[in-house]
Structure 1
Amino acid sequence: MSTQDGNNAVENTPAPKSDKQMRAVRFHGKEDLRFEDIEEPKCGAGQIKIVPAWCGICGTDLHEYMGGPNLCPTTPHPITGENVPLTFGHEFAGRIEELGEGVSESWKVGDRVVVQPIIYDGDCGACQDGLINCCTNNGFIGLSGWGGGLAEHIVVPEYAVYPLPNNVPLDVAALVEPLAVGWHAVNISPFKPTDSVLVLGGGPIGLAVVQALRARGCPQIFVSEVSAMRKQYASDFGAHIVLDPTKEDIVARCRELCGGSGVHVAFDCAGVQQGMDQAILAVRARGTLVNIAIWDKHVKLWPNDFNFRERGYMGVATYVKGDYEEVIKAISDGRLDKCHKMITKRIELDQVLDEGFMTLINGTFSDEQNLDRDIGDTY
């Protein structure tokens, strides 16, 4: 089933006002997250109204809570027209409860769906090139307006909605968004199925990259990680060798494991200066360092490390059209057969702050749970 291409005016039309109330988790500012009653959105032309079933708490949400607003607009967003306070939640799946005028007849009430949260204008040069993730005015549902998955109802443009096969549960579908980040990174990198790869960081995105590589049959996946818990997860999710940078020379080990040449591709999912320095040198001549991490400060690069070995460096931003469909298909056909293990805790909507955010921030999971994973939220 295909969705609309999204380059028409109705997509940027806010949902009509409603007299009904609903519950939602709203971000008001630094360390100010509230579970409150707000107006329930109406479903307008070209829009689909969804009841979210499961929603992940993303690292971006945590950073906004602890030190934001950063990505959340404090002045009206150029597309949504909204600013804080805003409803959180951009990793979610649910069921259709209403269809707006003009929506494709392929949809029906009750359909199980997942939402791709990128907001884009459709007019800038990047959008005209099909690169909606690089839109000049881009934003995210759940961060920039148009509601979020941590609410009882949400209205989104049709282009944002993707159908789910019957064998993909709604809680697992909430993981499509972070999985799509890793999938996209591998897709646009120079990686070939015979290549050796180093992944920096065993957090959610690092594990998404590992799973995407595993789905493509990568024969050598190395993960550099400090946390004992994350090292175990990296191994469980498909890494062939897990390295500890506090105990091993990452550069020397990668060269040793790759016949003296180093890895073909390195994916930086950690955003740490020391790790990036090691990854550059661990990449072989004409290999590539792919940056997925979002950095909170400037870092240093020594161009000679690239010039003298003709190494490449590229940045990656979320995902583009097609990535969601590929991830959903890979979950359905079993290539991403371990992704359900990324769900480490399930909580109710009114527990998001205390049992979700504070649990993650304070690291109060038991040893069997990962401190920085997406959390399923049920309500």
Structure 2
Amino acid sequence: MSAELMRAVVCQSGELTVEEIPAPRPGPGQVLLNVVRAGICGSDLHARVHTDTLADMAGIVGYADAPRRADAVVFGHEFCGEVVEYGPETNRRWKPGSLVVAMPMIRNDRVPYILGSSRQVNGAYAEQIVVQESFTFEVPNGLAAEHAALTEPMAVGWHAVRKSRIGTKQTAYVIGCGPVGLAVIATLKAAGVRTIIASDFSPTRRKLAVQCGADVVVDPREVDPFTSDPAPSGPDNVPALLNVGFDAMEKLRRVPKAPWWLAFRAMHKLNVGGNGPVVFECVGVPGIIDSLLAAAPLMSQLIVAGACLEPDTFEPSRAIAKEIDIRFSTGYTPGEFRDTLHMIADGMVEASPLITGTVGFHGVESAFAALGDPERHAKILIDPHSPVVDA
């Protein structure tokens, strides 16, 4: 193989092939890495099939480099690698050979590119990748490369948890225990949330949920997750909620001329009464939001972390009647990415149960097929130097 070429898994028109492509060179502020491990994400599976849909979505928010179906693209935004060399205008923070992880984006001439979703730059299904030095973090505590490579997907879960601002005494319901749901469970546990209830049709995924920290797991075909809280609190219907209001006002107004309304102002400032359960939607299929609005308890917060790539509808009246907050979550901040890496390295986040297989480049095709069966796999990693072809 020429020194200017490298091996990579290329997706074009839905086909995955191992090819030789030009090796990247680091530009200003960038670092060249040898890829040690790369993770196959569910979004990669979607991108192979729904390439044009994803490109349309990216165009809405102004990202013009998302590939179309006919374009050749190298997927891979979850990875760990070793430092090879630096481009100009870098601080050269780490010695060659240092193990690092990086957020999957670079910038050339102030134009950002998302690694693994670009026509211009390759992702981590390759022997080498270029990353931005300012978004790169050294792997601490001797953490193994395969576990460090899980920083990116676990950071997605941590961002959803932080976005919810959940308290330790609030009940968390995690609906769907694929990689995103498992990441949410693991980071909820790291955040000290006392009650985590997980729901999934798959027995294998329910077992993984327990390993990641779920306190209660249910098969939704048999048990309603929203009736599974071992210590339920708060009113479960509107009449019960109204009676809470009646009782409170009768007590407050027993004292003549007392400024009872100040109590409500204080409750608002302290967010008292806004501590209902938090529901994390980690499925991402049409209809799931509407079904959760119908089933979720009063005053819940719904965090939508599942990536639904098809049109969907829901009845706003369900959320209005229950006063359910709805938030959508994606990605992470640099601080969350760094903190996730250290939580994994410090043993606060149990990420290892997610890894269910490792393949080489010629095994990526079989890995994509295997990941369609939740009973077989959760997260398959790519080792560029592995001969394994069967996932």
TM-score grouping bracket, smaller chain normalisation = 0.7 to 0.9
Q: Give the match for residue 22 of structure 2.
A: 39
Q: Which residue of 1 aligns with 2:309?
A: 296
Shift of 1:82: 7.1
Which amino acid in the other structure matches residue 328 of structure 1?
A: L
Residues 201, 223 of structure 1: 8 Å contact kept? yes
> 1:87-106 maps to which residues of 2 (within 5 A)?
87-106=74-93
Alignment of 1:191-340 (within 5 A): 191-254=166-229, 257-259=231-233, 261=235, 264-336=277-349, 338-340=350-352
Task: Name the count of aligned residue pairs.
Answer: 340
User: Is the 1:222–1:242 contact (alpha carbons within 8 Å) kept by the matching residues of 2?
Assistant: yes
Percent identical among aligned pairs is 30
Q: CA offsets per residue over residues 319-355 of structure 1, 9 Å max, x none?
A: 112111110110121101x21121111111232223x
**d(CA) in 1 for partners of 2:66 and 2:277?**
44
Post-superposition Cα deviations, 1:218-239, rounded to whole Å, max 9, x if no partner, equal 1110111111111111122111
Is residue 116 of structure 2 the alignment partner of residue 110 of structure 1? Answer: no
The alignment partner of 2:126 has SS state of coil
Query: Is the partner of 1:298 in helix, strand or coil?
Result: coil
Structure showing greater Rg: 2
Q: Is the aligned partner of 1:157 residue 2:132?
A: yes
Query: CA-to-partner distance for each residue in 1:184-212, whole Å, 9 max, x for gaps?
Result: 00011131111101001010000000000
Segments of 5+ residues of structure 2 without an aligned counterpart are 237-275, 386-391
Contact persistence 2:33–2:83 (CA under 8 A)? yes
Aligned-pair distance for 1:299? 2.1
Query: TM-score, length-normalised on structure 2?
Result: 0.79
Distance 1:55 1:261, change over 3 A: farther
State whether residues 50 and 94 of structure 1, in contact with CA within 8 Å, keep that contact through their aligned partners in structure 2. Answer: yes
Contact 1:195 1:264 in 2 (8 A): yes
SS in 2 for 1:297: coil
Of residues 222-231 and 305-314 in structure 1, the stretch that sits farther from structure 2 once superposed is 305-314
Conservation of the 8 A alpha-carbon contact between 1:175 and 1:374: no
Contact 1:99 1:108 in 2 (8 A): no
Offset of residue 183 of structure 1: 0.3
Q: Following the alignment from structure 1 to structure 2, what is the Cα–Cα distance between the partners of residues 298 and 235? A: 32
Does residue 377 in structure 1 map to residue 383 in structure 2?
yes
SS in 1 for 2:168: coil
CA RMSD of aligned residues (A): 2.9
CA distance in 2, matches of 1:72, 1:168: 35
Once the two structures are TM-superposed, the CA of residue 53 in structure 1 deviates from its matched residue by 0.2
Q: What is the distance in 2 between the residues matched to 1:208 and 1:122?
A: 34
> Per the alignment, do residues 78 and 231 of structure 1 end up closer, same or farther by CA in structure 2, a change over 3 Å counting?
closer
Residues of 2 paired with 1:335 and 1:378: CA distance? 29
Aligned partners of 2:30, 2:156: CA distance in 1, in Å?
25
Q: Which runs of 5+ in 1 are unaligned?
A: 1-17, 124-136
Q: CA deviation at 1:139?
A: 5.5
- The structural deviation recorded for 1:257 is 4.6
Quick check: 2:177–2:200 contact (8 Å CA) kept in 1? yes
Whether 1:57 and 2:40 are equivalent positions in the alignment is yes
Matched AA of 1:280:
L
Structure 2 CA distance for aligned equivalents of residues 211 and 334 of structure 1: 11
User: Aligned partners of 1:179 and 1:217: how far apart in 2?
Assistant: 16
Q: TM-score scaled to structure 1, two decimals?
A: 0.81
Flag the 1:170–1:304 CA change in 2: closer, same or farther, 3 A: same
* 2-structure distance, mates of 1:23, 1:303: 50
* Cα offsets for 1:35-92 (capped at 9, x unmatched): 0011112222221100000001111111122343443689999575976201111110
The one of 21, 24, 29 aligned to 2:13: 29
Deviations 1:20-48 (Å, cap 9, x if unpaired)? 11100111122x11100111122222211
Q: Residues 139 and 280 from structure 1, CA distance in 2 versus in 1: closer, same or farther, beyond 3 angstroms?
A: farther
C-alpha separation between the residues in 2 aligned to 1:82 and 1:247?
42
Q: Distance in 2 between matches of 1:320 and 1:347?
A: 30
Is the contact made by 1:178 and 1:208 (CA closer than 8 Å) also made in structure 2?
yes
**How much has 1:375 moved relative to structure 2?**
2.7
Matched residue SS, 2:26: coil
